[in-house]
Amino acid sequence: MLDAHVQNAMNEQIKNELYSAYLYLSMSAYCEEASLPGFAHWMRSQAQEEVQHAMKFFKYIAERGGRVVLQAIDQPPGEFESPTAIFAETLAHEEKVTAMIHDLYALSVEQKDYASQVFLQWFVEEQVEEEANATEILETLKRIGDKGHALVMLDRQLGARGAE
């Protein structure tokens, strides 16, 4: 049986993962309007990944005999300054999610919930990848700027996500 404290925290994380999906969908909509279809595609792919993360928590709670309790999701921002600002916000958001995952892991250690520690290890590793991806794109944007041919090339590259 899943510890009640861990269950409640994981239910909160489902909400957080779904908020992440909403945030990335909002960023995707902005990028579509800004004629950056590759950026929009990358953000939609990211949103789908966040929904998958929420569903991993959903399934885990159920498998451990817990109860999933869905919570209200806040509305994400709808306006962004630029592609660089979007990826600066993406990185900051992923760092926040990393802290949430670390807090969940620490709670599972405190509660001596060894199964949850194993489950959460995947998320710990996933967050390393998430931060690295956001950092790489942000650093590229800082070098090339928010206009010009290099931005178009990066847009094409981001549009190829999932095509490999």
Q: Nearest-CA neighbor of 133 among 49, 29, 23, 67?
A: 49
The conformational region for residue 73 under phi > 0 = left, psi -120 to 50 = alpha, else beta, is beta
- Domain membership of residue 141 as a residue range: 4-159
pLDDT reported for residue 41: 97
**70-98, pLDDT tens digit by residue?**
999 999 999 999 999 999 999 999 999 99
For tokens 């909403």, the residue is 22
Transcribe 84-98 into DSSP letters. Answer: HHHHHHHHHHHHHHH
Share above pLDDT 90 across residues of the chain, in percent, rounded to a whole number: 96
The 8-class DSSP code of residue 112 comes to T
**Which two structure tokens, joined as six digits, stand for 18?**
């779904």
In-domain check, residue 56:
yes
Number of domains in the chain: 1
CA 39, CA 53: separation in Å to the nearest integer?
21
The separation between CA 117 and the C-alpha centre of its own chain, rounded to angstroms, equals 20
| CATH of residue 77 | 1.20.1260.10
**92-138, pLDDT tens digit by residue?**
999 999 999 999 999 999 999 999 999 999 999 999 999 999 999 99
In-domain check, residue 65:
yes
pLDDT reported for residue 164: 44
In-domain check, residue 83:
yes
Beta carbons within 8 Å of 106's beta carbon, 6+ residues apart: none
In-domain check, residue 12:
yes
In-domain check, residue 80:
yes
Mean pLDDT is lowest, of 53-57, 94-98, 101-105, 145-149, for: 145-149
In-domain check, residue 164:
no
